[in-house]
Structure 1
Amino acid sequence: MNESFPSFSIGGARRAVRAGLAAAFVALALPGAMSLAHAEKADQNKPINVEADNLTYDDLKQVTVATGNVVITKGTILIKGDRVEVRQDPQGYQYATATMAPGSKKHASFRQKREGLDEYIDGDAERIDYDGKQDLTTLTRNATVRRLQGLTTVSDTVHGSVITYDGQRDFYTAKGGNDVAAPGNPTGRVRAMLSPKNGGPAPLNGASATLAPSNSIQEPNP
Structure 2
Amino acid sequence: MVCKNCAAMPKPSKRLLALIAVAALLPLGTQAEKADRLKDLTIEADQRSVLDLIRRHYVVNGNVVMSQGTLTMRAHQAEVRETPDGYKTAVLTAGAGQMVSFRQKRDGVDEFIDGSAERIEYDSKLETVRFIGSAVVRRLRGTAVADEVTGALITYDNLAEVFSAAGGATPAANGRVKMTLAPRNAEAAASAVPGAKPASAR
TM-score by length of 1: 0.72
Cα deviations by residue, 1:86-114 (Å, 9 ceiling, x for unpaired): 1101111111011012xx22210000011
Cα distance in 2 for partners of 1:131, 1:53 equals: 24
Cα distance in 2 for partners of 1:170, 1:181 equals: 26
Cα distance change of structure 1 residues 46 and 192 upon mapping to structure 2, 3 Å threshold = same
For the pair 1:159 / 2:150, whether they are aligned, the reply is yes
Identity percentage of aligned residues: 41
Cα deviations by residue, 1:31-71 (Å, 9 ceiling, x for unpaired): xxxxxxxx211012222100001322012221111110000
- Whether the aligned pair in 2 keeps the contact of 1:79 and 1:110 (CA below 8 Å) is yes
- Whether the aligned pair in 2 keeps the contact of 1:124 and 1:139 (CA below 8 Å) is yes
Cα distance change of structure 1 residues 181 and 20 upon mapping to structure 2, 3 Å threshold = same
Cα distance in 1 for partners of 2:170, 2:131 equals: 13
Match of 1:11 in 2: 15
Cα distance change of structure 1 residues 2 and 132 upon mapping to structure 2, 3 Å threshold = farther
User: Residue 105 of structure 1: SS of its match in structure 2?
Assistant: coil
TM-score by length of 2: 0.78
Greater RCO (Cα-Cα under 8 Å, separation 6 or more): 1
- Whether the aligned pair in 2 keeps the contact of 1:3 and 1:59 (CA below 8 Å) is no
Question: What aligned pairs does 1:39-54 form with structure 2 within 5 A after superposition?
Answer: 39-54=32-47
Q: CA deviation at 1:2?
A: 7.0
Match of 1:198 in 2: 185
Match of 1:20 in 2: 28
Q: Which runs of 5+ in 2 are unaligned?
A: 1-8, 188-202
Which structure has the greater CA radius of gyration? 2
Runs (4+) of structure 1 moved beyond 2 Å? 1-4, 10-13, 167-170
* Alignment RMSD: 2.2
Cα distance in 2 for partners of 1:2, 1:197 equals: 57
Cα distance in 1 for partners of 2:120, 2:171 equals: 20
User: Residue 55 of structure 2: SS of its match in structure 1?
Assistant: coil
User: Residue 68 of structure 1: SS of its match in structure 2?
Assistant: strand
- Whether the aligned pair in 1 keeps the contact of 2:134 and 2:171 (CA below 8 Å) is no
- Whether the aligned pair in 2 keeps the contact of 1:86 and 1:94 (CA below 8 Å) is yes
Q: Which runs of 5+ in 1 are unaligned?
A: 5-9, 24-38, 201-222
Cα distance change of structure 1 residues 2 and 171 upon mapping to structure 2, 3 Å threshold = farther
Match of 2:106 in 1: 114
For the pair 1:180 / 2:158, whether they are aligned, the reply is no
Cα distance in 1 for partners of 2:108, 2:10 equals: 41
Cα distance in 1 for partners of 2:100, 2:57 equals: 20
> Which amino acid in 2 is paired with 1:84?
A
